[in-house]
Each structure stands twice: as C-alpha cells, then as structure tokens.
Amino acid sequence: MRQTILISLFFLFVQGIKGQTQSISRDSISVFFDEIKITSEKNTKLWDKEIYGPTILIDPKTRVLFANEPDEAGILKSDGNVYTGILPEKINIANTAIDWNGKRWAMIMLPLPNDKSDRVNLLGHESFHRIQPALGFTLNNDENNHLDQKEGRIYLRLELEALKNAIGSSSEKELQEHLVNAMTFRKYRNTLYKNSAGTENLLELNEGIAEFTGLILSGRNKKQTRSYFLNGIDGFLKNPTFVRSFAYYTTSVYGYLLYNKDKDWNKKISAKTDLTNYFIQAFNIKISADLKKAVEKISGQYNAQSIIKEESEREEQTKKRIAEYKLKFIDQPHFEIQFVKMNVSFDPRNIMPVEDKGTVYPAIRVTDVWGILTVENGALMSPKWDKISISNPIKIESKKISGDGWILELTDDYKIMKDERSGNYTLIKN
C-alpha cells in the first residue's frame, strides 16, 4: 500500500546557529513578524504573490507557539497582536510548512538567527514552502544517495568550488568560465549515477527554489551576498552528508547569478522544469561533448587533489560505519515498525545511506496512528519509506517502551510482540 508521507526537514543555517542567545518575548516575536511582512510586501513581484501569510514561531523545548493570526479552530489565544498556544504532541516540530486547524502555516523553530538578514532568509524560505503548492510546485524530496558516495561527493564539491569562484568573479568572462566548469562537473557527475539528474532536480525544485526565495527576501547587498555564499558553502561542506541539503547552495547560487540578469527567471519555471538544462541555456553555457576529458582538464583549478584525498579517506571510514549499521539494524535482532499514516521530521545534514537497505537517521521523530517514536541514536528507514528499524527494547512500561537512544509512546490500540525464533520485535494492533 502506498503511504502518504509528509517530510519535515530540520535545516539550521550555520550562520543562524552561532551566537543564538536571544530571549523569546512578545515584543521580539512581533518584530520578527513585521520583518518578514515588510520584506514580503517589497518583493511581491518575485512570485506575483504575497509570500507572507499564516506563520508559527515555536519553541521546540516547550512546544509553546506564537502565531501572527488566529487559527480557525479557535485554539490560539490573542496576546496583543500575537496569538499563542501549545502545539499538540502529535505534530512534529521543524522548519517547514504544515496544514493545521484550517490553515496552511509556515513553521519556524525558535530561537531565530540574531542577524536580521539570516533571520528573514529563514522566514522567507519557509514562507515559500507555505505558498509552494499554490505556485504549482510539488513538495517532493527524493533520495540522492549517490551524493554520499565517493565520486558523487567529489564532483559535487568541485561544482561548489567552481560556484564559489563564480561568486567571487571580477569580470563577466571569469564568471562565465567558472559557471561552465561548474556545470561540467555536474553533468559529468550525472553520467556516473543512473537517474541522479532527476533526483537532484526534484530536491532543487523544492528546497533550492525555497532557499533562492529566502535569499532574495533577505535584503543582502552584493558584498553581503558574496560573503554569505562563501561562508555558507564552506560550512555546508563540513556536514557529514550532502544528500538532502546540497540544493540550498547549488540552486540559490545559480538562481542569484541569473536574477542579476533576469529578475523574472523564476516565474518561467514549473514543477516539470529541468533546472540544470534551464540554467545551461539561460547562461549560454557550452558543455564539452567529452565530459571526462573536460573534467580532467579543469579539476586542478579547484583543489581536486586535496578533495579526492579527503573523500578517499572518508570512504574507508564510511564502509566501517555501514557495516556497524547493517549489524545493528539488519543482521542482529531488531525492532521493525511498519507505517500506516506517518509524519516524520529529521535533520538532513547527518543521514547515511546503507547500500540498498535504506538510510540511517541519527535523530528522527515519527508520529503515526500507533503513537510517537523519538530516536536520538539512530534508526534505519527502509528504501520505500514503509517501515523503520531500531534496536530491540530494553525497558517496557505499559504503553511507553524504550531502547538504546529511542522512546516509543504507543496508543491504546497497539502493542509490541517478540518473535522468539528470530528475536525480532514488531508492532501489532490489538
């Protein structure tokens, strides 16, 4: 049975994480709402649609939320020009867009970045996700596990190095050279992995276009934008994995550079657009017919030798971790939980594909008809997203079961059962 899967991605900008010491007050919440409202009104032409709308700012520790307008169910209470309430436990907290109590909301976790530009960037990104369906863009995040493999990582890193040079270019000729090289690395990468061009495109149309929107709303000048990209890409490259977060930088860089030439480019694309080919045509890029030879010729400009060395070392470490995960979640007794109608939130920066067995999420929260699963020490998501595997239970207390780094809170209709032959646990309905 095909599952309905709603995925909320935790993506905390490096710039936003540093130095977040602000206290949460009604006055500051009002300021945050005003900031995104004002910049949205100034940039209505970006999508020919008001980007600002129903917005929730939420404290993930207490689940206390602050909204800019009431909900249709009347749960939120007015507190001056802000509405407050408690988000139900069944709803996952993330930077995302959700349908709740009669409205579609942008949800952003507190505290927000101290820097105003970073703050508006984040608010703008999630506000785009709120209006995304109305613009005709589907919310689709396909797997890009090839970007956790050695060659995939190498050629993504080389593309990003070329984009960093493009951002820092002092002439149109230099800019064009680096854009051609960036796309050459991209096209070559896509020849190495079947269907990779399509899966990358899906994430770029989703998260990439949202991040481009946030970037334009941020109000940074040219110098600030250049610094933002250079620092942001360097920070991104320190992430354990690239598979679900690369689009925040690739699409936004291409999009920003094209925006300087054509302020309406984004309104000419749709959910069916191949962004790679779109950018190639828009920038008048000529790609070599012999991609392998072209890559060999230009790689030296972008620190390729060091990148290859680092990725070769990482690959050896990854093999060991994959072997450990296979033992923990597949070979030895474990606990498999089937999904019925699940909603999940996780951090996309540190997930790890495990061959064709699925993907390990170090931290993940799942809600379903059977209850709430909170994991802080790893879980294996199946390739089809129809089940999740965790280590076997250690402690069983009625409807609250816990194990190594996980807690499962069951509803009254479900219980766990052990298969004595295999040692595996499963979840069954009463």
310 in a domain, yes or no?
no
Among residues 302, 323, 354, which one ends one of the domains? Answer: 302
List, for residues 15-66, the tens digit of each pLDDT value.
Answer: 333 334 345 788 899 999 999 999 999 999 999 999 999 999 999 999 999 9
The confidence band for 8, taking pLDDT boundaries of 50, 70 and 90, is: very low
308 in a domain, yes or no?
no
Say whether both 233 and 367 belong to one domain: no
322 in a domain, yes or no?
no
Average pLDDT for residues 73-102, to the nearest whole number?
95
pTM value is 0.90
pLDDT at 146 over 90: yes
More confident residue, 16 or 259: 259
Say whether both 153 and 223 belong to one domain: yes
Please give the pLDDT value at position 24: 72
State how far the Cα of 295 lies from the Cα of 136, in Å rounded to an integer: 36
List, for residues 410-421, the tens digit of each pLDDT value.
Answer: 999 999 999 999
Domain residue limits at 82: 10-135
Say whether both 98 and 157 belong to one domain: no
Say whether both 20 and 120 belong to one domain: yes
Return the half-sphere exposure (C-beta side, CA atoms, 13 A cut-off) of residue 416: 25
Say whether both 251 and 271 belong to one domain: yes
Please give the pLDDT value at position 20: 42
Please give the pLDDT value at position 9: 47
State how far the Cα of 116 lies from the Cα of 330, in Å rounded to an integer: 46
List residues bridging with 379 in a β-sheet: 361
Tokens 């942001």 label which residue?
Answer: 232
Please give the pLDDT value at position 13: 35
More confident residue, 139 or 11: 139
Q: How far is CA 310 from CA 12, 238, 314, 316, 353, in A?
A: 25, 12, 6, 10, 19
Q: What does the CA dihedral 265, 267, 273, 274 come to, rounded to 10 degrees?
A: 20
Whether the Cβ atoms of residue 75 and residue 101 lie closer than 8 Å to each other: yes
| Helix 291-298, helix 172-192: angle, nearest 10 | 130
Please give the pLDDT value at position 145: 94
326 in a domain, yes or no?
no
List, for residues 294-308, the tens digit of each pLDDT value.
Answer: 999 999 999 999 999
Beta pairing class for 395-397 and 400-403: antiparallel
319 in a domain, yes or no?
no
State how far the Cα of 295 lies from the Cα of 21, in Å rounded to an integer: 45
Please give the pLDDT value at position 143: 80
pLDDT at 430 over 50: yes
List, for residues 150-173, the tens digit of each pLDDT value.
Answer: 999 999 999 999 999 999 999 999
Say whether both 214 and 108 belong to one domain: no
Say whether both 297 and 256 belong to one domain: yes
Say whether both 265 and 151 belong to one domain: yes
Number of structural domains the chain divides into: 3
Say whether both 160 and 276 belong to one domain: yes
Say whether both 378 and 423 belong to one domain: yes
List, for residues 164-216, the tens digit of each pLDDT value.
Answer: 999 999 999 999 999 999 999 999 999 999 999 999 999 999 999 999 999 99
Please give the pLDDT value at position 23: 56
More confident residue, 407 or 20: 407
Whether the Cβ atoms of residue 391 and residue 335 lie closer than 8 Å to each other: yes
Average pLDDT for residues 248-259, to the nearest whole number?
98
| Helix 150-167, helix 172-192: angle, nearest 10 | 170
Among residues 135, 167, 202, which one ends one of the domains? Answer: 135
